[in-house]
Amino acid sequence: MRLTTKGRYAVTAMLDLAFHSERTPVTLMDIATRQTISLSYLEQLFSRLRRAEMVVVVRGPGGGYQLSRPVAEINISDIIKAVDEQIDSTQCGGETNCQNQKACLTHDLWMGLSNQIHHYLASISLADLLERKPIQEVASRQEQDVEHLIELRREVIVRL
């Protein structure tokens, strides 16, 4: 279980989905605009999220992504694991042969530690995050800030 900015991007994007995809799918372009993440980077992340069956896809016009299950059933740990390529942190993948064919100190230590963190993050769902006041406020502001940009983009595209 690693904790890097990559995982944070994924959690942010999933939270954005949770806010906006209840009725209609959300395009990566919309998420990119609201969360200021590059579209192509989002594509990479969602490719993994899709393979991990965290999101479902609707292709074609009006399409986009939606969460594959209710927000209460998606936890932070799963999101991070989906994008963070699990090059397991002990170099032996639970094989317990990190050091001269035997377990290293780190093995038991870090396994235990990262298990605990994993369980902790697994206990937090998207639903939990959605309930938080400050997050709701930020999300509303983001919608207003960026709504006109998204509209503008659509109009401009239509005119061309």
Partner DNA sequence: ATATAGTTGACTGATTTACTGGGTTAAGGA
Partner DNA sequence: TCCTTAACCCAGTAAATCAGTCAACTATAT
3-state secondary structure of 13: helix
| Under 8 Å between Cβ of 37 and 12 | yes
Residue 34 burial by Cβ neighbours in a 10 Å radius (0-12, 13-18, 19+):
buried
Out of 1, 13, 14, 37, point to the residue binding DNA (CB under 7 A).
37
Q: Which is nearer to a second copy, 48 or 107 (CB)?
A: 107
Q: Which span sits near DNA by CB under 7 A: 27-35, 68-76, 109-117, 134-142?
A: 27-35
Where in 22-81 is the site for a second copy (CB under 8 A)? Answer: 35-36, 76
Q: Tell me how long the chain is.
A: 160
Alpha carbon distance 69, 126 (integer Å): 11
**Residues at the site binding a second copy, with contacts judged by CB under 8 A:** 1-5, 8-9, 11-12, 15-16, 35-36, 76, 89, 99-100, 102-110, 112-114, 116-117, 120-121, 124, 129, 132, 134-135, 138-139, 141-142, 145
